[in-house]
Copies of this chain bind each other. A is one copy, B any other.
Amino acid sequence: MAIYPESLSNLIEQFQKLPTIGKKSAQRLAMSIVFRDEKSVKEFADALIDVKEKIKYCEICGNITEDNLCDICKDITRNEDCLCVVEDINDLIAIEKSGAFHGKYHVLGGLISPSDGIGPEELNIDKLLKRITDENIKEIILAISSTIEGETTSIFLSNLLAEKNVRLSKIAQGIPVGSNLEYFDQLTLERAIEDRREVND
């Protein structure tokens, strides 16, 4: 005999499709829906549908938006000639939340990963080259994770952009703020020492 009624068992399966939600969490979340009032569950269901209906990708940078262009591309107060190149929208949002960057973005939509069959042609690179010319971009910051795929992509882009007339940099590698350096690997420490900054009081 099934422990859960069919509709509830189906909802548990649906919750399990979400990232980081295992079986036990899915059961707890689905059960919480049983105890919620109908109106609030309807609002949740509508919010899901709404996101799928309204969210699309910015025609210029690939960020998410409800219009053709995203709020960042439309923002005339931002630095127009500096592009920050990121792997995906999650990384864009992380940088945006930091408040440390005031230019525009370009979302690659992935990283080069030969083992997963993802080559440069799968990424949003042609449009990046076109933007450099069309928008008269003077500086590009590669804000790409320091993984094997990230490094491969950074090297590929560095070679590709070397012949363009742009200032090219990548975000610093080192010890995260507030971290104890004894926990970091040799390579991270090596980079942190190599990229050391002079202290100006």
Contacts and interface: CB of A to CB of B under 8 A. Distances in A.
Interface of A: 1-8, 10-11, 13-14, 17-21, 25, 27-34, 36, 38, 40-55, 64-66, 71-72, 75, 89-90, 93, 96-97
A66 B29 contact: no
Given A1-B75, A2-B71, A64 B19 contact: no
B90 A31 contact: yes
25 contacts: A3-B93, A4-B64, A5-B54, A5-B66, A6-B54, A7-B47, A10-B51, A11-B48, A11-B50, A14-B44, A14-B48, A17-B40, A18-B29, A18-B32, A19-B29, A19-B32, A20-B28, A27-B93, A31-B89, A33-B51, A33-B52, A34-B89, A41-B48, A42-B49, A44-B48
A5 B10 CA distance: 30
Nearest to A3: B96
Contacts of A11: 47-48, 50-51
A38 B55 CA distance: 11
Given A5-B71, A21-B29, A45-B49, 6 more contacts: A7-B47, A7-B66, A8-B55, A8-B64, A14-B47, A33-B48
Contacts of A54: 5-7
B71 A51 contact: no
A46 B17 CA distance: 14
